[in-house]
Chain A
Amino acid sequence: MNRFIVSLLALATLAAPLALAQDAPKSIALGASIPSDRVAMKNVDGKMLTIDSVKGAKGTLVIFTCNHCPYVKAWEKRITELGNSFARQGIGMIAINSNDPGRSEEDDFDGMVTRAKDLGLQFPYVVDEGSVVAKAFGASKTPEAFLFDAKGKLVYHGTIDDNVKEPEKVEKRWLKDALTAVAAGQAPAVQETKALGCGIKFKES
């Protein structure tokens, strides 16, 4: 009898995914290597570059972002400060815009150039044509951070901190803490976090 019930439960478990349909990208897991790191993307300075070419000796931070999203706008100063500051500590940083400008006009290349200049970005801000890199990462929204260690393994995935709206009330600086740990050759204490964000505008077929 026990074996019979176990078999039925196993069948139910196998069948469950059929009933629980879901349309959400599955992001790469902790410990994964950097995907699509040889894909050439156009930087705001007009040059083509890859994630591989911006890797840092201590680690690499890849942030999916854009121009229009209110969550990005609320966090962009903090993101810029982190990127600019940790670049001097051996962390390579790249900001990637994967939105289809056909669906989000403000996210076109000219807008990126203006944004990069206004913010004083000291790291690349590139166009992910056709969202191929976002799809390879399983990125779903902006902003979304993926931090890799010196060996190129994912050690942090998630958001910036715990208060998008009020920087002065931030209690948990998740990304900064993770960057600090990776720059010191250590594993971050918190490796996965979440926040709301703007869904990436993938090109509609």
Chain B
Amino acid sequence: MAGRSDIARLITTGLAVSLAAALAAGCGAPADRGGSAVAAEPTLRAATAAQVLEAARAPGTKAALINVWATWCQPCVEEFPDLVKLHRTYAGRGLRLVLVSADFEEQRESVAAFLKRQGASFPSYLKDQKDEDFIDGIDARWSGALPASFIVDRSGAIVDYWEGKKSYAALEAKLAPLLR
């Protein structure tokens, strides 16, 4: 059974890590180094919220960025090249980018073509669940607006989320500290 000092250490360590991550998020990030796990053709798998979270918690992942997007969503499309660039830069350092299209099933071909054009040739996902179950299955705080992004840390916890697009610099500032 944990003693007083053990419990205190656990809690204060957790606090320190959380606070450091929060503070580091606004303090810039290391430069690009390249490297990634890019396959020739994108694979597109139907997925529920549980399967998306499982993908974000795959072994060896230091941090995962879940991004829910759609081909018809203009801000999603605008943000997409930065997401792919982020993957190219940080996949070799433990970043897992989990892209989940909210397009309808009949748009599957358009989604695959878009992913290919964007060079997102790593495994990707297509939402396969009723909206409300999918939204709350990912994170009950999410309103359902697109795009939506969630950061999962190495413990598997969602430590950050936002709705709307972000710049490459903002994405990098949030994720780089978690990849050290």
Chain A interfacial positions (CB closer than 8 Å to B): 1, 4-5, 8-9, 11-12, 15-16, 18-25, 27, 69-70, 103-104, 140-141, 144, 159, 162-165, 193-201
Contact = CB atoms under 8 A, between A and B. Distances in A.
A101 to B, nearest CB: 12
Given A196-B102, A198-B146, A15 B18 contact: yes
Q: Which of B18, B73, B144 has the most CB of A within 10 A?
A: B144
A8 B13 CA distance: 12
Nearest to A16: B18
Contact of B22 (A12, A21, A162): A21
- Name the 8 nearest CB pairs between A and B, nearest first: A19-B18, A23-B162, A141-B145, A199-B145, A195-B131, A140-B145, A140-B143, A24-B163
A190 B134 CA distance: 19
B147 to A, nearest CB: 7
Interface secondary structure of B, over-half rule:
mixed
A192 to B, nearest CB: 10
Contact of A19 (B75, B135, B159): B159
Contacts of B144: 140-141, 159, 194-197
Contacts of A4: 4, 8
Contacts of A8: 7-8, 11-12
Contacts of B11: 8-9, 11-12
B159 to A, nearest CB: 6
Contacts of A196: 68, 102, 127, 131, 134-135, 144-146
Given A18-B18, A19-B21, A21-B25, A194 B131 contact: yes
Interface size class of B (residues with CB under 8 A): 35 or more
B114 to A, nearest CB: 15
Nearest to B163: A24
A133 B85 CA distance: 36
Q: Which of B11, B130, B143 has the most CB of A within 10 A?
A: B143
Q: Which of A1, A11, A24 has the most CB of B within 10 A?
A: A24
A58 B121 CA distance: 54
B15 interface: yes
Contact of B135 (A18, A69, A194): A194
Contacts of A12: 11, 14-15
Contacts of A164: 131
